[in-house]
A = this chain, B = another copy of it.
Amino acid sequence: MQQYRTLQILQKSPNSRVFHLYLNRPHHRNALSRDFFTEFSAALSSLDQNTDAAVIVLSGTGDHFCSGIDFKALNSITDHPPSFDRARANEKLRREIKVLQDAITAIERCRKPVIACVHGGCIGGGVDIVTACDIRYCTQDAFFSVKEVDLGITADLGTLQRLPGIVGYGNAMELALTGRRFSGQEAKELGLVSRVFASKESLDEGARLVAEEIAAKSPLAVTGTKAVLLRSRDMNLEQGLDYIATWNSAMLVSDDLTEAIKAQIQKRNPTFSKL
């Protein structure tokens, strides 16, 4: 498997279709460096194409999930020689931001579910990442902060676009304006995470179990569910219904449907081929 400087990919057991993706700069609290953005996009694309992988579990190594964007990364996109035309600098900055955004959106472009496992801090850019994930779990001592406002900037990597759909506009506004720290428990109450675990160990184990469970389901149904649910965000109801009808005209009748029904009748676990 490809080596990364800021990430690590692990397939913990050779038969498992669950792949683990780690933010892996523990000594920098997994701050998001320039390299990270390039590698994250590449890693998710490779996992998307890897037919062995069915589900991805995203965690941070070290004491924290992610402390947000690295100052050097921020500097690298804002720095220009003083003589440089101000409008050209702005045009370039706009493109740079879109490249960074694009790396986060790679989570959604990946057809397979990505489960975020948050322990310790999940700050700024970390929140941008987890809001793009499909399922979010955390530990009891995890803490979150939409911190950009304290850096004097408007968050621009996706939180302001994705968070309202997850926790509602009221909560999103309050969290983004205050930048206040909130706990794993509150994240659960807000709907940001689906479960809170007592420890890092139980989080890892709990997430692994859910991941394995999803990985054992029909890959057509799992990737279809992710795709159609994401697509429903920017369609009205009529369009959304028409879209899934069109989708299922191609995907409903499958070996997976046959196998799922057969297995139910035979009271056994179904097995599905890879996608």
Q: A217 in the interface, Cβ–Cβ < 8 Å?
A: yes
Query: Judging by beta carbons under 8 Å apart, are B220 and A252 in contact?
Result: no
Interface string of A225-237 (1 = CB under 8 A from B): 1111101111111
Q: A152 in the interface, Cβ–Cβ < 8 Å?
A: yes
Interface of A is mostly: helix
Query: Judging by beta carbons under 8 Å apart, are A155 and B225 in contact?
Result: yes
Q: A73 in the interface, Cβ–Cβ < 8 Å?
A: no
Choice from B105, B113, B177 contacting A241 with Cβ under 8 Å: B105
Binds B, one of A14-22, A23-31, A59-67, A254-262: A254-262
Query: Judging by beta carbons under 8 Å apart, are A248 and B156 in contact?
Result: yes
Known A-B contacts A168-B168, A177-B135, A237-B162; A154 and B275 likewise in contact (beta carbons under 8 Å): no
Q: A10 in the interface, Cβ–Cβ < 8 Å?
A: no
Query: Judging by beta carbons under 8 Å apart, are A232 and B153 in contact?
Result: no
Q: How many angstroms between the C-alpha atoms of A148 and B261 in the bound complex?
A: 12
Which residues 27-46 of A have a CB within 8 angstroms of B?
A: none
Interface size class of A (residues with CB under 8 A): 35 or more
Interface string of A175-196 (1 = CB under 8 A from B): 0111100000000001111100
Query: Judging by beta carbons under 8 Å apart, are B244 and A152 in contact?
Result: no
Known A-B contacts A170-B194, A226-B173, A273-B85; A232 and B164 likewise in contact (beta carbons under 8 Å): yes
Query: Judging by beta carbons under 8 Å apart, are B248 and A153 in contact?
Result: yes
| A255 to chain B: closest residue by CB | B85
Q: How many angstroms between the C-alpha atoms of A207 and B61 in the bound complex?
A: 38
Query: Judging by beta carbons under 8 Å apart, are B241 and A161 in contact?
Result: yes
How far, in Å, is A266 (CB) from chain B's closest CB?
Answer: 14
Which residues 62-97 of A have a CB within 8 angstroms of B?
A: 71, 78, 85-91, 93-94, 97
Q: A11 in the interface, Cβ–Cβ < 8 Å?
A: no
How far, in Å, is A144 (CB) from chain B's closest CB?
Answer: 13
